[in-house]
Structure 1
């Protein structure tokens, strides 16, 4: 498996960065995060101990459906479904078609790397990177 690189940036920062890239003032590089969270708190919530345990169970038991995953973990189906939808949106898992109409979760990454500058210089308006 692979490492998912994530970063933290608020909505305003992401919008400004996207606009700089669109105008050609900045270029994204392959070593930059591919997934962004609005806060360290939202990152921590998604990768809480219980959610990391859920990923481990998916990887080790390869459940054939969300119902089977709920039985293995003892978590409620709607709770699992909501959590997995968020994880899929961040690229941690992929939901694939199983037998009939069942969805099967598959873990894509076995590691997460957080890029979190503690002290970041703010660019002055009109300067280039």
Structure 2
């Protein structure tokens, strides 16, 4: 498996970054995050202890359906389904076609690396004479 790099950026920062990439003004570096959260709180919610337990169960017990995962985890199927949809949206898991009409949750990554600058990047300051 591989490591998913995630970053934290508010909506404005994400929109600016996306606009720069689309306009060709910025090219993402190889080490840049591929998934973004709007806050450390949203990151913590998605990867809460209970949700990491679901990931562990998927890895170790390979449930064949969302319903089976919910039973193993002792959680309501609707809750597990909603959680898996969120995790899939962030690329943490993927849902594969299982038996019949059932979907089978599969891990997409076995590690997450958080890229979190502790201070905002500052624009270069102009110095006397107009040089940077």
Q: Which TM-score applies when normalising by structure 2?
A: 0.90
CA distance in 1, matches of 2:65, 2:71: 10
1:85 is the counterpart of 2:85: yes
Alignment of structure 1 residues 1-129 onto 2, 5 Å: 1-123=1-123
Kindly tell me the number of residue pairs found equivalent between the two proteins.
124
Higher relative contact order (CA 8 A, sep 6+): 1
Runs ≥4 residues deviating over 4 A: none
Q: Can you list the C-alpha shifts for 1:30-87, whole angstroms capped at 9, x where unaligned?
A: 1100000000000000000110011000110000111111111110000000000000
- Equivalent position SS for 1:64: coil
Higher Cα Rg, which structure: 2
Q: Which TM-score applies when normalising by structure 1?
A: 0.92
Aligned-residue offset at 1:23: 2.8
- Equivalent position SS for 1:106: strand
CA distance in 1, matches of 2:16, 2:123: 11
Structure 1 spans left out of the alignment, 5+ residues: 125-129
Structure 2 spans left out of the alignment, 5+ residues: 125-132
Q: Can you list the C-alpha shifts for 1:91-126, whole angstroms capped at 9, x where unaligned?
A: 1101001110001000111110000000122336xx
CA distance in 2, matches of 1:119, 1:23: 26
